Structure 1
Amino acid sequence: MNYQWYPGHMTKAKRMMQEDIKLIDLVIELVDARVPLSSRNPDIDELGKNKSRLILLNKADLADKNANKKWGEYFQGKGYFVQEVDSRSGAGMKAISAIIQEACKDKIERDRKRGIKNRPVRAMVVGIPNVGKSTFINTYAGKACAKTGNKPGVTKGKQWIRLNKNVELLDTPGILWPKFEDQAVGLRLALIGSINDEILNIDELAMELITFLKNQYPGTLEKRFQLDESEEKSAVQILEEIARVRGCLIRGGELDYGKASKLLMDDFRSGKLGKVTLELPEAE
């Protein structure tokens, strides 16, 4: 399956971000902690060069704890400020204001020397679709400022949000990049829901996930679905078992693979399969 999705509004959004970057002191980039590298838009590095950078490992609660630590060290080694967060529960959010001040201390000091006091740090919040930008902004601000949704592409325009006297945020639409050079990246983004499910073959996606879990997190499917996950079983056979266990049937008693696949993907994305990370820094 070829993984590609680049709606027209993303081109417009990228142009808008290029225009706004000159107003910005700090780029706050949200990545999905389950796929921290695959969920980084390579265009953001070009866009944010010469700016202070903060990477938030969002949805850290859904990812493998040890992997989160490795990714934090990886990004710090590249010169970024890093923080693990769960925007929905608010975990890790209290530390962000202090990190922003630290990341922009040179700029704040330059302002002070010029006699400019209390000018807020202007931060652009960026990230690919469905990585949780709007939820982060609303949780950070303590009020519903940004539209949220569990489908990619909810935020289509930009908006400035004044958080307090120290920080202003510029919310931007989630943008992918026009062509994935590595289809493994496209697969990982499809698995976490950053590519519209409506253009994907969910059965194929579910079998890719089964294969990965069998290899990297053995016992996960057994525990969740009370099935036999022995080595000789193929992904198709395990999907069949999931369909049987969960009563995914169509008229005539035949197995409904589509329903079983969707159920498996929903369980993975919501964390019901446990804490799973799809890529590690040493593999990159």
Structure 2
Amino acid sequence: MAIQWFPGHMAKARREVQEKLKYVDIVFELVDARLPKSSRNPMLDQIIQQKPRIILLNKADLADPVQTQKWQNYFNNLGYETLALTAKNDKSVKQIVPAAKKVLAEKRARDKEKGLKERAIRAIVLGIPNVGKSTLLNHLAGKKVATTGNKPGVTKGQQWLRFNSQLELLDTPGILWPKFEDPEVGKRLALTGAIKDDLLQLDDLAIYELEILSRFYPEILMERYQLSEDDLFQPAAEILMEITKKRGFKDDYERGSELLINELRQGRLGRFTLDRYEEKVD
């Protein structure tokens, strides 16, 4: 199931982000904690280059905590400051500014030695759709977002949002990439709702979901759908048929597929991680 998404936008997206990076101190790279690798934009490393960044593993409340910790350690070992958080949780979001100060400590110390007055950290949030950018901005802002005005050199239409005396964010759309070279990435993003459902077959996606859950989280399927261990030794297509019948849909496998996918997206299946740390490619 190969998926192509937003073809033709790479050059434009790259130009826009590179222009905006001139005016920020740090990049907040927002990814889905359930997809720590698949939800990272492969363009960003080349675009951001040496610009300081923090990787924010959002939706950590929906992810497997053991896997999340492994991914945090992995990114930390690559030299990135990493936070696991839930963007809709104010306490969780409050970790971001202290982490940014830590990353920028040396630069801020040099500025102080030069006699420069300490100012708010200027940042940009980059991430693909459905990783929680809007939720993060809303919870950083509360009800007191104030526009600080255009900074010199910033192109028309871009605004700086001041969230408190310590942080300003450049308000800008997210950055996308045009296609998935690895079809597994497309399927994982589709399963969590980052891609429109009309781009794929729901039964194929449901079967993919069952393959992952039966392998890594069999207890989720057994508890939610009253399946036995023997049921899970069947091919995923057979498991889908079993669940469809148990839910009273008879042979309506499309309806059974929709049920499986929606319940996963709605958090009814509990915490899971689709990108397995053990299967990472360095």
The aligned residue for residue 78 of structure 2 is: 78
Q: Equivalent pairs: percent with the same residue?
A: 49
Contact 2:207 2:236 in 1 (8 A): yes
The aligned residue for residue 258 of structure 2 is: 262
How far has the Cα of 1:259 moved from its partner? 2.2
How far has the Cα of 1:14 moved from its partner? 3.4
Contact 1:5 1:196 in 2 (8 A): no
The aligned residue for residue 235 of structure 2 is: 234
Equivalent runs, 1:101-120 vs 2, <5 Å: 101-120=101-120
The aligned residue for residue 244 of structure 1 is: 245
- Distance in 1 (alpha carbons) for counterparts of 2:86 and 2:270: 15
The aligned residue for residue 5 of structure 2 is: 5
For 1:35, give the aligned amino acid. L
Q: Using a 3 Å threshold, how does the CA distance of structure 1 residues 7 and 143 change in structure 2: closer, same or farther?
A: farther
Q: Using a 3 Å threshold, how does the CA distance of structure 1 residues 10 and 72 change in structure 2: closer, same or farther?
A: same
Equivalent runs, 1:1-284 vs 2, <5 Å: 1-6=1-6, 12-90=12-90, 92-143=92-143, 159-228=159-228, 230-248=231-249, 254-284=250-280
- CA displacement 1:30-71 (0-9 Å, x = unmatched): 111111011111111112122111011100011111111101
Which is further off, 63-72 or 86-95?
A: 86-95
- CA displacement 1:201-231 (0-9 Å, x = unmatched): 1110011101111111112212112234524
How far has the Cα of 1:24 moved from its partner? 1.2
- Distance in 2 (alpha carbons) for counterparts of 1:6 and 1:52: 28
Contact 2:64 2:273 in 1 (8 A): yes
- Distance in 2 (alpha carbons) for counterparts of 1:97 and 1:276: 28
Contact 2:9 2:178 in 1 (8 A): no
SS at match of 1:272: coil
Q: Using a 3 Å threshold, how does the CA distance of structure 1 residues 202 and 172 change in structure 2: closer, same or farther?
A: farther
How far has the Cα of 1:8 moved from its partner? 6.0
- Distance in 2 (alpha carbons) for counterparts of 1:281 and 1:80: 16
- Distance in 2 (alpha carbons) for counterparts of 1:128 and 1:24: 19
Gaps of 5+ in 1: 146-156, 249-253
How far has the Cα of 1:186 moved from its partner? 1.5
SS at match of 2:205: helix
- Distance in 2 (alpha carbons) for counterparts of 1:158 and 1:75: 31
Contact 2:3 2:179 in 1 (8 A): no
Contact 2:8 2:178 in 1 (8 A): no
Gaps of 5+ in 2: 146-156
Q: Using a 3 Å threshold, how does the CA distance of structure 1 residues 274 and 140 change in structure 2: closer, same or farther?
A: same
SS at match of 2:28: strand
Q: Using a 3 Å threshold, how does the CA distance of structure 1 residues 243 and 174 change in structure 2: closer, same or farther?
A: farther
Contact 1:206 1:261 in 2 (8 A): yes
How far has the Cα of 1:89 moved from its partner? 3.0
The aligned residue for residue 151 of structure 2 is: none
Q: Using a 3 Å threshold, how does the CA distance of structure 1 residues 135 and 255 change in structure 2: closer, same or farther?
A: same
Contact 1:10 1:173 in 2 (8 A): no
For 1:57, give the aligned amino acid. L
Q: TM-score, normalised by structure 2?
A: 0.87
- CA displacement 1:127-161 (0-9 Å, x = unmatched): 1111001101111222386xxxxxxxxxxx86432
